[in-house]
Amino acid sequence: MKKQNFKIRYNNKATSDKDCWRVIADGEEILVEGISVHGSITTTKDFMADINQFKYHITCTGVLEIKDNIAYITSL
């Protein structure tokens, strides 16, 4: 598995409980139902150039596995 940088935030445009979380992995957005993070996290305020706004995130570096629409992140 590849080590990546993750930014996590609630999806306020969710259409169901299946896409209520955004996991941004090295710039690629993945929508999931839930998230489980094992390890160290921090909070950050990040400028998102694609929407030209600052957003607040739970942030970590680690590896990602998605099972049954749940993102499992193990931080490194």
Chain segment 15-67, per-residue pLDDT in tens: 999 999 999 998 899 999 999 999 999 999 999 898 999 999 999 999 999 99
Q: Which one, of 45, 46, 50, lies nearest residue 29 by Cα? A: 50
pLDDT for res 24: 96
Residues in Cβ contact with 1 at an 8 Å cutoff, skipping those fewer than 6 apart = 63, 64, 65
The pairing of beta strand 34-38 with beta strand 70-75 = parallel
The span from the CA of 9 to the CA of 53, in Å, is 14
| pTM > 0.85 | yes
- The ranges assigned to domains in the chain are 4-75
Q: Are 33 and 18 in contact (CB under 8 A)?
A: yes
